[in-house]
Structure 1
Amino acid sequence: MAVSLGAVVLQVSDIGRSAAFWSKALGYDAQPGNPAFLGSKDGSGTRLHLDETDRTHLDLWVDRTDSDLETEVERLIALGARRVEWTYPPDADFVVLADPDGTVFCVIE
């Protein structure tokens, strides 16, 4: 497989309060300089990104040794996903898709 579940983006009302809770609940550490990005102490596994404005969604990370962003996007579309209208920054390294049920997720290179 060329994508993996890299992060769960969780919409929260207070990043500091949520980071304190989730880091203790999961045994995760905050990324240096960014308390909103939590991950395992050894850096493996799925990260938790806390966000006060973005909706809860999954981030799928492309394994660059196996594939590239557009190849994976096309593979997921062939499986039933669809592109979502989105305003991307000029240096975007992600594509926003929706699964067949309409659940939004990101594919990130």
Structure 2
Amino acid sequence: MTLQWEQVIVHCADPAALGQWWAEALGWVVVQSTEDEFEIRPAPDVMPGLDFVRMEGEAKKSKSPLHLDFRPDDQAAEVARLVAHGARHVDIGQSDQSSWVVLADPEGNEFCILGQRR
């Protein structure tokens, strides 16, 4: 048996708005858009992708059980770019000495911008 990782599902209140935010943040393309689902990928035929799916109910109240990590060429520049794009800094208990920066997207989903590989 072989498994291929196809995508990560992100439950959210507004799939189109959050999906478009991530598409712009990552420079990815939109491959599907409906009222309840918005899928993006690095390129139309390249996986894995991110699939934003409408989830009705209560807003997020705690630390995300799953988050994405990104390793940029220039951590400070990437953090500044994403904050200018609408991300915000989040404190999840990391220390001031951490080699990563924790940010959250417009719906509060945490993700990390990692430092240089050691």
Q: Report the TM-score range of the alignment, normalised by the length of the smaller protein.
A: 0.3 to 0.5
Structure (1/2) with the larger strand percentage: 1
Quick one: higher RCO (CA 8 Å, sep 6+), 1 or 2?
Answer: 1
Q: TM-score, normalised by structure 2?
A: 0.41
Q: TM-score, normalised by structure 1?
A: 0.44
